[in-house]
Amino acid sequence: MKTITALAVSLSLITASAFAETSQEKGLGIAKAADARDTGFQDFTADMQMILKNRAGKTSTRSIRIKTLEVLGDGDKSMSLFDTPADIKGTTMLTYSHGLKPDDQWLYLPALKRVKRINSRNKSGPFMGSEFAFEDLGSQEVEKYRYNYLRDEPCGQGWTCHVIERKPAYQYSGYTRQVVWIDNKEYRPTKIEFYDRKNSKLKTLVSSGYREYAGYWRPARMQMDNHQTGKSTTLNWNNYTFKVGLRASDFNKNAIKRR
Amino acid sequence: MKALMLVLSAMVAMPLAANDIEVSGNVGVEARYFPQDALYPGQEDGGLSLSIQPEFRRQWDNGRKSLTFIPFYRWDEKDDERSHGDIRQLDFTMASDNWEFQAGVGKVFWGVTESQHLVDIINQTDTVENFDGEDKLGQPMLRMTRFLENGSIGLFVLPYFRERTFSGAEGRLRSPLVVDTDNATYESADEEQHVDVALRWEQTLDSVDLGLSYFDGTARDPEFNQVGSTLVPYYRQIQQLGLDLQYTGDAWLWKLEALRRENADTGYNAAVGGFEYTFAGITETGADLGAIAEYHVDSRDELATSPLQNDVFLGARLALNDAESTELLAGTILDLDNSSKSFRVEASRRFGDNVKVNLEAQVITDTDAEDAILHGLRNDDLIQLEIQRYF
């Protein structure tokens, strides 16, 4: 009798959890699935062109070469190497990203041949004067946010997207929350809305032109519009190459001097 | 010199397709103005100067191999000693998983502090370029670096010594007596051919970056002997043990550089330490403000060849983080033993895609006659504007 009761209780628990999954659990589940979908890429290199546009429509461009090494069980290691503007050519940023722990970051200044360890406190600060904050460009680890599933809805190109809300769990974020549209087939984020510390809508990021490289999907274009200033920044991605054979030794304080 | 030949022949032997060589660099025009009258006969009041620094670079094997050539030349309207050229870099670098090898003329920076680069010793300072000591002459070297887990050990062999540059008779920012750079003397019979060696261990331990260095060779900063009405540089043989340490917190950077230096007769200790605190995002547009304080101490007191023997540096760094990379650094050095003070402001901003404008100003005031180096410069307040065009 006892066993039967226990069995009945556990059965009812299973069904309860299957049918009454909370919106938090569902949101976290989607974030984990998206993370799993992108795991195993090993490494990639890509060229990023960043076009800054001010309210008057005047533009300025930066070209940045990106190298990323996947680190299983921690955030990725990445290197951003600036080719333009010409006065900062050769400047390189090395980042060891982590989940909730602050990232480790070094900056190489080629004119002085100096490697400077910098603090990553200013996560909400603009990256190179753009509308992207440092935290927007960092490695997106699952534990960096708390999630809440909102709904499913069509999101263009015949895709259906999960719409989830996520709140930064790390310190010093410039956001109270973000709303993310991510397609339900390949887990490609198509749109993110950013809400500032006063919970006003600050920026919208739209990613488009997705292509599959070695089984991993990457957008060709990411456009960030700042609704409060009227400024925008567009990232055009080119020459994505996965599994080029980068090693940990390509991501250290000596390697960033090599540029 | 052999290393140089090796690099040159490697460059020539390379199958050099023109589109493999990256060409960049800058040309600059600089105007200097000294508002106060010159202290010494023959000194001029500033003027114009032009500089060019092209860079030629070839990289392959995912950046693990590279050849670099960076010549430099400055022409100065007033001071013949400031009109000078240099090979800033001409080297070959090769890296594997565990090793890195560099041969040729290059530049190496050691250290963490902002107001003085105490342990940095591989390269000679190009003092006529700028008073701040940040400009360096290219150093012939062979370097082998062994990578460690989160660190490295580097061995440097430096087969040729570069003499320090000094302002000529017409130049400002000099001592009362002109330095005779044509007749430098050396403790070593090998003179500038003396082979210097250095060793450096670097390690990152979580939030701490540590460097330990040892140098055995020709001192980069000379002593002087008065001969007639000139100062003749005398370069000693020294052994120097250096430490640099930085702790990186959320908003704090704590920094320390310390050294022990010995020569045949005597020895001394010196240190500089302090912090930089960043107030992040002080404006809606995301500007950062850093507050810097550093203390300098030197066991030689007023006999020190450096003016920083019991001084404190207080400074502020403002980075607007805007599209033009506008930055401002302002600071003061106060001598705690007497009334000597100096102030310095550096500002820079990009205009368009390729033009950079740098503005520098310095004031040296209330100098004490015992503070001989600074006292000799007491009328050399300076405003300097530089416009650089990058290509």
Contact residues on chain B for A89, CB-CB shorter than 8 A? 24, 390
How far out from the chain centre does Cα B54 lie?
Answer: 19
**CB proximity B129 to A under 8 Å:** no
ipTM entry: 0.91
Query: Could you tell me the pLDDT band of residue A187, with boundaries at 50, 70 and 90?
Result: very high
Report pTM.
0.90
CATH of the domain at A196: 2.50.20.10
Number of structural domains chain B divides into: 1
Q: Minimal Cα distance from A118: which residue of B?
A: B248
CATH of the domain at B349: 2.40.160.10
In a domain, A5, yes or no: no
User: Considering CB atoms only, which of A87, A174, A244 is closest to B390?
Assistant: A87
Contacts of B228 (CB under 8 A, 6+ apart): none
pLDDT at B377 over 70: yes
Contact residues on chain A for B107, CB-CB shorter than 8 A? 113
Q: How far apart are CA B330 and CA B314, in angstroms?
A: 9
In a domain, A171, yes or no: yes
Contacts of B77 (CB under 8 A, 6+ apart): B47, B48, B49
In a domain, A63, yes or no: yes
Q: Minimal Cα distance from A52: which residue of B?
A: B323
In a domain, A253, yes or no: yes
pLDDT at B134 over 50: yes
Which of B22, B209, B245, B346 to probe by mutation at the A interface, max A CB count within 10 Å? B209
Contact residues on chain A for B211, CB-CB shorter than 8 A? none
Contact residues on chain B for A244, CB-CB shorter than 8 A? 62
How confident is the model over A205-209, as a mean pLDDT?
Answer: 97
User: Considering CB atoms only, which of B63, B107, B352 is closest to A113?
Assistant: B107
pLDDT digits (tens, 9 = 90+) for A109-162: 999 999 999 987 778 889 989 999 999 998 888 999 999 999 999 999 999 999
In a domain, A2, yes or no: no
Contact residues on chain A for B24, CB-CB shorter than 8 A? 86, 89
Q: How far apart are CA B162 and CA B20, in angstroms?
A: 32
pLDDT at A73: 85
Q: Give the position of tokens 């010995």.
A: B262
User: Does the beta-carbon distance from A121 to B325 stay under 8 Å?
Assistant: no
In a domain, A85, yes or no: yes
pLDDT at B91: 96
pLDDT digits (tens, 9 = 90+) for B225-243: 999 999 999 999 999 999 9
Structural domain containing residue A32: 23-258
B39, two tokens: 């202290």
In a domain, A90, yes or no: yes
Number of structural domains chain A divides into: 1
Q: Minimal Cα distance from A67: which residue of B?
A: B62
B293, two tokens: 């304080």
User: Does the beta-carbon distance from B323 to A255 stay under 8 Å?
Assistant: no
Q: Give the position of tokens 């991510």.
A: A182
Query: Could you tell me the pLDDT band of residue A9, with boundaries at 50, 70 and 90?
Result: low
Structural domain containing residue B101: 2-390
In a domain, A13, yes or no: no
**CA–CA min distance A139, chain B (Å):** 19
How confident is the model over B192-202, as a mean pLDDT?
Answer: 98
User: Does the beta-carbon distance from B286 to A244 stay under 8 Å?
Assistant: no
pLDDT at B303 over 80: no
User: Considering CB atoms only, which of B251, B288, B356 is closest to A125?
Assistant: B288
